[in-house]
Amino acid sequence: MPQVDYNFKKTFDVAYQIDYCRKNKDKLTPQSAVNFLKSLDTDFNDTILVIGAAFGFIVEEWIKQGYKNVFALDTSAWIQQEKKNNATVEIYNIDITSTIGKQEAKALIDGAKFNWAISENVLTILSDKECVILTNSMKILSKNVVHLVQCKSEKQEKRFPHNWKSKEEWELFLPNTTIVDLNDLIMPYFGGTMKVKIESILHDNDQIVVEYIDPYGHENARIALGIPAPITAEKLKTSLANHGPAIMDRFVKKHERVTNPIEFNIEEVNALIGTTIEVELPEPPEPKEKKTPIKNEIY
């Protein structure tokens, strides 16, 4: 049995800390998570099977990017009940861990093997045995297996009774698969450009605080910047670019106050209010050397 029952709307709302529905699609689909597919060796003509797609919000975005053959699966009773009101792509009620489910999945592409099978935040709600069964089923259906999973943190372990593991633990437990930590996508390191709209700029004798709307849709998010004097509009833009990953989803509530009063050209800085700054994100780091898989008695 799964660790958590996602057949009810309340489970989605609690897990994602938001009213899980179409009106909140943009908040539930960060651009960094959408762009991650490009970081894989994918082609727009690849066949892609997405397991646990919910209302298919991320699938919608991948199709907009140009991917032509993306198929969304979800067996949640609530998702199937409400998909007409929330989904714009077909959400197939297919359980690929069953024999008939594998047959139904293969039938989507005339019996061929998918190029990619991607689970979307599914592993943590399954037992270890179920994770292995799901992964083996994905390997039967696809040439490449990817798990999008929110890896463990102390805060998460206290709040939710999920199957929490670190990225390294998942990689050892499920060898020959690609593990993508959703926490890395919340604070993205993938190359590309994101846009940050500056709402207001506050300043006093020893700090400058920028309020902005980020790509998640968080309003009045704040970040305190320590910028060497004198402050200019160009320095502010550079500092925002350097803070790109943090700006995405970090609410700065505490910060060290600089000892020297800062100087700024108030006209130039205030001219940035209401503008949108493009922030270049760094490229992905080099892949780490793979560790020797641990022996898994379930296999």
Nearest to 115, CA basis, from 48, 70, 50: 48
Residue 105: strand pairing partners: none
The secondary structure element, H or E, covering residue 292 is none
Pair 99, 162 in one domain: yes
**Distance from the first to the final alpha carbon of the chain:** 18
Nearest to 94, CA basis, from 74, 121, 119, 112: 74
Reading the block at residue 47, the tokens are 């066949």
What is the number of other CB atoms lying within 10 angstroms of the CB of residue 28? 20
Pair 43, 154 in one domain: yes
What is the number of other CB atoms lying within 10 angstroms of the CB of residue 47? 21
**Average pLDDT of the residues of the chain:** 75
The residue segments making up the domain with residue 25 are 9-186
Residue 148: strand pairing partners: 120, 180
pTM: 0.65
Pair 178, 53 in one domain: yes
Residue 294 lies in a domain: no
Pair 164, 217 in one domain: no
Residue 16 lies in a domain: yes
Q: How confident is the model at residue 12 (pLDDT cuts 50, 70, 90)?
A: confident
pLDDT tens for each residue of 213-235: 544 444 445 555 555 555 566 66
Mean pLDDT for 260-276 is 58
Distance CA 227, CA 238 (A): 10
The single-letter code of the amino acid at 145 is V
